[in-house]
A and B are shown apart, each in its own frame.
Chain A
Amino acid sequence: MDESTILETRDLNLWYGQNHALIDISIRIPKNRVTALIGPSGCGKSTLLRCFNRMNDLIDSSRITGEILFNGNGIHDSLADVYAIREKIGMVFQKPNPFQKSIYENVAYGPRIHGVREKKALDRIVEESLKGAALWDEAKDRLHEPALALSGGQQQRLCIARSLAVEPEVILMDEPCSALDPIATAKIEDLIIRLARNYTVVIVTHNMQQAARASDYTGFMYMGKLVEFDMTTKIFEDPGEELTENYITGRFG
């Protein structure tokens, strides 16, 4: 691969208590591309995703060995600031999780906690972020209504806008469409492709068509191991491993 790498793991192992959830993962996530992680339930793809912004820190029983590098810096270095890491590496979750605040306040939340105070700057960030998440046209007349009044698909785009508002370099998406209907899913996929112009997107998905449609690179995981990682077209047309082929042709999963 001759792309420049933004995120990289080296021999990453992770345990939840006794459960060895990730085994010797080494992967290089190319910058400004969409990378999809696929694999059957419980294969560790969400766990790997949550390693990139250290969300696994929140789970007491988790333990990690190996290295994770973001722009060449180890994110577990003793001086690394976990909050700054999460600011640079945003995340969108499986189920939309807007805060119980207005649409505006949801998007403004991130900039506010990072110290932006002036109303004008916030207004602009909210507008830009909502535009970036393709929600502005639908939301601009109801910015101060509760976010929970939006539809599921709109809520998910709001969550994307919310993470855009802190200017991340990477956006991690953990099955962002699994709680959405096909139309909302199509909108989000569309958005993902466009986001890749300015951001690096890593998406975990159950849906192989989604990976094929929306991603540039695909990693196939199985039982905690990264079986294969390559261009999406290569993975889907000419997989190097038999296991991968069996999975994408639907023989198991």
Chain B
Amino acid sequence: MKKEQAAPVPFQSFGRLRRPGIGLISAGAKRQLVDRIVGKLLLFVALFAIVTVFFIIVFLLRDGYQIVLETGIWNFLVGQDWNPAGRDPAYGAFPLIVGTVLVTALAMAIAVPLSIGTAVFTAEIAGPRTRSVVKPAVELLAGIPSVVYGFFGLILLADWIRIAFDQPSGSSWLAGSILLAVMAIPTITSVAEDAVSSVPREFREGSLALGATHWQTIKNVVVPRALSGIGAAIILGMGRAIGETMAVLMVTGNAAVIPDPITDIFSPVRTLTGTLGIEMGEVAFGSTHYHALFGVAVILLVITLAVNGAARVIVNRMQATARPKPHRALTAAASRITHAASAPFGRLAHPRTSQRCAFLLISLSAAIVLAALGVILFEIVVNGAGAITWEFLTGSPRDLGRAGGIFPAIAGTFWLVTGALAVALPLGIATAVYLIEYTADTPLTRGIRAAVDLLNGTPSIVFGLFGFAFLVLFLNFGVSLIAGQITLGLMILPTIIRTTEESLRSIPGSLREGSYALGATKWQTIRRVVLPPALPGILTGAILSIGRAAGETAPIMFTAAVFSSRYLPSSLAEPVMALPYHLFVLTTSIPGASTQSYGTAFVLLLLVLAIYLAAILVRRRYNREKVM
């Protein structure tokens, strides 16, 4: 212990805080006023989320309810025939609903075991080294734009299915489901992994201390405890699959038929999202067909909302029962384990043998996921890298994109993303600050949160439709850069709100108290004490949103993008080229442009992956700082 230090200096005499009239009375009136104004402003911004949801619903319903008037709700929902272009147009959405259900169901059958296996692998089995490879790999899988998946599915997967199963065409239900499975895997895996690794340590230790093997512990203690989280993960993955447009549209064949027999996985199908993606571009405004498409969007929205709502109920229930009785779970597990031990003849295999088998299967599922990523990356990198030339990166497209470059598309994507961020960042951060810092749990904040959840679960094609109906037509922006920027901005808004909220929540309340105890106002506390350490988390969210906005096709397809433009846009009112849309059109409509397609896919992939890597790096650095 150190010796007595210099006696504390009495300091009554700085005189710096002796402002005139600083009694207890109203010296801080101005600060309080600022504080109150900021609070009101933030509330105003936070209400924006509710307003947006309201507008989306109003615009979908406004145009969608017409079809119910024209065909009758029953005919629309269960009509067997979707044929808007025929001489006798028919608007029965039933085959589309069936298509969506079938594609999603098979995708989940593939994705769920692989995802849970991968989640258990990373959370329980993998060493730190392996984990540091598998986790980012799964996240990268989430980062690949859906149009790149579609491109890959069309040129490789569909072809493989055609040859391997000797089918006339590979564009099928199966192809769509496999692609959707790969796309849903990252969602399911990461949420399920969170659930598994949040099982408290004492559960595991309690079980292991009873002599259970690691596998018995996982099977009897860890997974049952994480079950509701895993359930939520599956449903969230399902929501992702149902709302997906581009990839599905490119590989399912898009015939609006119900497979016959219903188990014919090689039959082409058409989903709700695919229908919107294909037909919205060429429909006459205000026609029956137009109304029918909005009706389809309403069905889609209702389905995804129901699915996401179910996930939320499960998560809430999970949180409500989060304080469990470990002893009860443990005694149950213990009795199961001792029971197994006392009946050696009833056992199929020695615990160690079954552990080995189980771990093999689990590792295998992780390997399959890694392999999927590897194949996609390999295919696109190997074929795409060759297409990259100076002209390709800096020139304008010629001959319908078969020659020349993609510079206008790169620039267009850049402008779209920048504008989307300019819209979403201020709104998102302000909303999150209001939600976390300014209010307790009131009906109003619950409303705002529900609206954010709703936006989060809304399929991107529905944003596209809303942008088209509201911005392009109603506000008369036309197909323009600004319409695309706003649409993309709305789409990434919930992500930014969520990540900012999380980041703010991770700042301990004791820091806020420390600041208040020094006489700081709420706004001073937020600006100087809460926001700075929350910044890396907010930044990560923003970067992830950039990746998402850069790769999305559906929201800009009808609002901002054109296929060919030799020049860069000179104002916000002009349409632009964009990388994902360019890739989509090249792949689906321009024969003989495969080099250019690979090149475009490569550039898009590189761009998005670089953005995701940046996010991962920011988070890593941030985590290291936190440990210190």
Contact = CB atoms under 8 A, between A and B. Distances in A.
Interface of A: 53, 55, 58, 60, 70, 73, 75, 77, 79-88, 90-91, 93, 95, 97-101, 109-116, 121, 124-125, 128, 131-134, 136-137, 146, 148-149, 159, 162-164, 166-167, 183, 186-187, 190-191, 194-195, 197-198
Given A99-B511, A109-B529, 7 more contacts: A84-B24, A84-B519, A87-B519, A113-B518, A124-B14, A159-B514, A191-B8
Given A83-B28, A131-B8, A167-B11, A97 B511 contact: yes
A110 B8 contact: no
B317 interface: no
B27 A58 contact: no
| Top 10 closest pairs, chain A to chain B, by CB | A87-B519, A91-B517, A97-B510, A81-B28, A86-B519, A110-B518, A100-B533, A83-B28, A97-B514, A132-B8
A85 to B, nearest CB: 6
A53 B8 contact: no
Contact of A86 (B2, B11, B510, B516): B516
B164 interface: no
21 contacts: A70-B24, A73-B23, A73-B24, A79-B26, A86-B517, A87-B519, A93-B510, A93-B513, A97-B510, A98-B514, A109-B520, A111-B16, A111-B17, A113-B528, A115-B19, A137-B5, A162-B514, A162-B518, A163-B518, A167-B14, A187-B1
Interface string B497-528: 00000000000101101111111110010001
A75 B528 CA distance: 26
B8 A87 contact: no
A79 B23 CA distance: 10
A94 to B, nearest CB: 9
Contact of B518 (A109, A116, A136): A109
B1 A53 contact: no
A77 B24 contact: yes
B11 A85 contact: no
Nearest to A122: B16
A99 to B, nearest CB: 5
Nearest to A162: B518
Contacts of A190: 4
Contacts of B130: none
B628 to A, nearest CB: 7
Contacts of B524: 113
A75 B515 contact: no
A86 B524 CA distance: 14
A95 B510 contact: yes
A55 B6 CA distance: 33
B12 interface: yes
A132 B14 CA distance: 14
B599 to A, nearest CB: 45
B7 interface: yes
Contacts of A137: 2, 5-6
A93 B27 contact: no
B1 A113 contact: no
Contacts of B508: 97
A80 B24 contact: yes
B9 interface: yes
Contacts of A58: 513, 516
Given A99-B529, A128-B11, A167-B14, A84 B517 contact: no
A157 to B, nearest CB: 10
Given A70-B24, A93-B510, A148-B628, A167 B515 contact: no
A102 to B, nearest CB: 12
A111 B14 CA distance: 11
A75 B23 CA distance: 11
A110 B4 CA distance: 27
B287 interface: no
Contacts of B510: 93, 95, 97
A163 B529 CA distance: 15
B31 interface: yes
Contacts of B7: 194
A114 B519 contact: yes
A109 to B, nearest CB: 7
Contacts of B17: 87, 111, 114, 116, 166-167
Contacts of A85: 24, 519
A229 B324 CA distance: 43
A239 B45 CA distance: 59
A60 B440 contact: yes
A90 B521 CA distance: 14
A55 B516 contact: yes
Among B7, B24, B508, B529, the one with the most A-chain Cβ atoms within 10 Å of its Cβ is: B24
A15 to B, nearest CB: 17
B532 interface: yes
A88 B22 CA distance: 10
B519 A83 contact: yes
A90 B518 contact: yes
Contact of A81 (B5, B12, B32, B513): B32
Contacts of A90: 517-518
B450 to A, nearest CB: 21
B514 A132 contact: no
A156 to B, nearest CB: 12
B25 interface: yes
A194 B19 CA distance: 28
A84 B518 contact: no
B623 to A, nearest CB: 14
B3 to A, nearest CB: 10
B69 interface: no
B123 to A, nearest CB: 29
A84 B511 CA distance: 19
A77 B26 CA distance: 10
A88 B243 CA distance: 57
B24 A113 contact: no
Nearest to B534: A100
B10 interface: yes
A29 to B, nearest CB: 16
B320 interface: no
A15 B516 CA distance: 22
A99 B24 CA distance: 27
B29 interface: yes
Nearest to B440: A60
Given A86-B516, A113-B519, A113-B528, A183 B8 contact: no
Contacts of B515: 99, 109
